[in-house]
A and B are shown apart, each in its own frame.
Chain A
Amino acid sequence: MSIALFRIDDRLIHGQVVVGWGQPLDCTFIVLVDDEVRNSDWEQDLYRMGVPPHIEIVFASVNEAAERLPAWEADARVGILLVPDIDTAAALAGRSDRVKRLNVGGIHHRAGRTERLRFVYLTDEERAKLRQLAAAGVDVTAQDVPTARPVPLAEFA
Chain B
Amino acid sequence: MSEPLRGVIVSHSGVAQALVSAVTLITGIDGALVPISNEGCDNDALGERLRQAVGERPAVLFVDLPGGSCLTNSIRYAKQHADIAVVTGVNLAMLLDFVFHRDVGPAEAARRAGDAGAKAIRVTAA
A residues with a Cβ closer than 8 A to B are 10-15, 18, 42, 46-47, 49-52, 106-110
Known: A15-B69, A109-B45. 15 other contacts (CB 8 A): A11-B41, A11-B42, A12-B43, A14-B67, A14-B69, A15-B65, A15-B68, A18-B67, A18-B68, A42-B79, A50-B67, A106-B42, A108-B41, A108-B45, A109-B40
Specify which of B38, B41, B75 is in contact with A46 (CB 8 Å cutoff).
B75
- Chain B residues contacting A110 (CB-CB under 8 Å) are 42, 44-45
Give the docked Cα–Cα distance between A50 and B71 (Å). Answer: 8
Q: Is the CB of B42 within 8 A of A49?
A: no
Q: How far is the CA of A50 from the CA of B43 in the complex (A)?
A: 14
Check A49–B12 contact: CB distance below 8 A.
Answer: no
| In the bound complex, CA of A106 to CA of B43 (Å) | 11
Contact A49 B71, CB 8 Å, known A15-B12, A15-B65, A108-B45 = yes
Q: A142 → chain B, closest Cβ, in Å?
A: 15
Size class of the contact patch on chain B: 10 to 19
Subset of 20 A-B contacts with CB under 8 Å: A11-B42, A12-B43, A13-B68, A13-B72, A15-B67, A15-B68, A18-B68, A42-B79, A46-B72, A46-B76, A49-B67, A50-B67, A50-B69, A50-B71, A50-B72, A107-B42, A108-B45, A109-B40, A109-B42, A109-B45
Chain A nearest Cβ from B8, distance in angstroms: 18
